[in-house]
Amino acid sequence: MPAKLSMQGLYKVFGPAPEEAVELARGGSDKDEIYRRTGSVVAVNNVNLEVAAREIFVVMGLSGSGKSTLVRCINRLIEPTSGQLLIDGQDVLQADEEGLRQLRLNKVSMVFQHFALFPHRTVAENAAYGLKVRGVGAAERRAKAVEALEAVGLGAWADALPANLSGGMQQRVGLARALAVDPEILLMDEPFSALDPLIRRDMQNELLALQERYAATIVFITHDLHEALTLGSRIAIMRDGAFMQVGPPEEIVGAPADDYVANFTKEVDRSRVITLGRIARRDRPLLAPSEEAAAASRKLQDAEVQGLLVADSNGKPLGSVSATALLGADPAAKVEDIMERPALTGERDTPLAAVLEAGALGAPVALLDNQGRIDASVDPGDLLSALAAARAEDQNLRVGGTA
């Protein structure tokens, strides 16, 4: 499938000598040297990226890393100096004024860090702004705006003025304004940075739900690594205008490409990033409820695990049997009489920490397919060794980071 959005060799230079600066950057000069020689600042330096449809692509970097400039290049609020930018295979940089306007009207919408709501318009008028610009009639525009406001939980506030809303609510209006136009691509420039941490977490969860509903491709800018790890299907770490590493969250945390990225991720609690799906295995035997305890013990020893799942003839989980339960049991007893019910189940993207927090260390966790059958399992031993490895990695990196 072709990428929804792609960039090849994108540069943005601010200052008097953009072409010369791009040449120097291509030749490998760094930002400081280019500034010394040309007086120009390279804000985006040779960025290449491909974003698939419905992906949440997070660009993470500190302030001044060029991430806000990069996202503005996508809808050409800032004109890139050189490079190629394709949306659905169409060259955005070749578009004339009208083509660009159509792109902004119909495909790409944006959420801003400081909300950028129009203070003289009501919440509903703000949410309807994109539709108004598009020329949609008043009644239809209002209906769609209210629908978008309801999606973000602000249906009751349609006729209030933005100034009467809290920060979190204002950003919901900003989100509703962007969603009301049914965008294919949603650009979000640090949308939650101005909110306090609890509201921020709510908004992140809500964004994930909304993304499923509106099926938009999202380019999300943040300086908060935790936010990046929560939201991103892929994350790019940006520094001095260039991407240092691009990959899924686990890769960024598990295999940082260089010291800069490692430094960022060293404070991350890996048990919150590594998921059950990553350590689950499909080669573990299942027990039938009618099996005898002696046979179950043998299977358990052969598989070198601490517990096994019990499934019915359709492969649906009934419960689990642990090594300790088998030790104390009569060898002739039936598995169904000694098993613990129900079986623990988890999702592929459940972080390891969630299992620990549920107090479920000691029994195997079943991962189900969409028919509700056991697809794979995570043994307590797997879980512990993964946690231990993550822990060790945290320690090592912390030592490496300070050295």
Partner 1 sequence: MTDFLSWLSPSHYGRLPFADWVQWLVRDWLVPNFRPAFQAMQWPVDQVLRGLEAALLAIPFPVFTLVLLLLAWRFAGRGVALFTLVAMLFIDAIGVWAETMTTLAMILTAVFFCAIAGIPLGIWSARSDRVAATLRPVLDIMQTIPPFVYLVPIVMLFGVGMVPGVIATIIFALPPIIRLTSLGIRQVSEELVEAAIAFGATQRQILFDVQIPLAMRTIMAGLNQTLMLALSMAVIGALIGAGGLGLTVYTGLGRLDVGRAAVGGVGIVLIAIVLDRITQGLGDPSLRDGTWTFSGSVRRLLGLAPPRMQEKLGT
Residue 23 class from Cβ within 10 Å (0-12 exposed, 13-18 middle, 19+ buried)? middle
Alpha helix (H) ranges present in 39-137? 67-74, 97-106, 123-127, 129-134
Count of positions (residues) in the chain: 403
Least distance (Å) between residue 125 CB and partner 1: 10
Q: Phi and psi for 366 in degrees, rounded to 5?
A: -95, 135
93 binds partner 1 (CB under 8 A): no
* Residue list 274-313, contact with partner 1 (CB under 8 A): none
Contact 286, 308 (CB under 8 A): yes
Q: In what order do the strands lie in the sheet with 56-61?
A: 108-111, 185-189, 217-222, 56-61, 234-239, 242-247
**Which residue, chain included where needed, has tokens 């007893």?**
333
Alpha helix (H) ranges present in 107-232? 123-127, 129-134, 138-151, 167-179, 197-214, 225-231
Stretch near partner 1 under the rule CB under 8 A, chosen from 114-122, 136-144, 291-299, 370-378: 114-122
153 binds partner 1 (CB under 8 A): no
101 binds partner 1 (CB under 8 A): yes
Q: Between 181 and 310, whose beta carbon lies closer to partner 1?
A: 181
Stretch near partner 1 under the rule CB under 8 A, chosen from 102-110, 142-150, 194-202, 206-214: 102-110
User: Residues in contact with partner 1, total (CB under 8 A)?
Assistant: 29
114 binds partner 1 (CB under 8 A): yes
119 binds partner 1 (CB under 8 A): yes
Least distance (Å) between residue 74 CB and partner 1: 10
Q: Which among 377, 241, 246 has a CA at the least distance from the CA of 308? A: 377
Residue 328 class from Cβ within 10 Å (0-12 exposed, 13-18 middle, 19+ buried)? exposed
Tokens, residue 386: 């993964």
- Single out the residue of 2, 63, 133, 267 in contact with partner 1 (rule: CB under 8 A): 133
Stretch near partner 1 under the rule CB under 8 A, chosen from 47-55, 113-121, 243-251, 374-382: 113-121
- Single out the residue of 17, 52, 53, 77 in contact with partner 1 (rule: CB under 8 A): 77
Q: Between 220 and 264, whose beta carbon lies closer to partner 1?
A: 220
326 binds partner 1 (CB under 8 A): no
132 binds partner 1 (CB under 8 A): yes
Least distance (Å) between residue 119 CB and partner 1: 7
Q: Between 154 and 252, whose beta carbon lies closer to partner 1?
A: 154
Residue 138 class from Cβ within 10 Å (0-12 exposed, 13-18 middle, 19+ buried)? exposed
Positions touching partner 1 (CB under 8 A) are 75, 77, 101-106, 108-110, 112, 114, 116, 118-120, 129-130, 132-134, 159-161, 164, 177, 181, 187
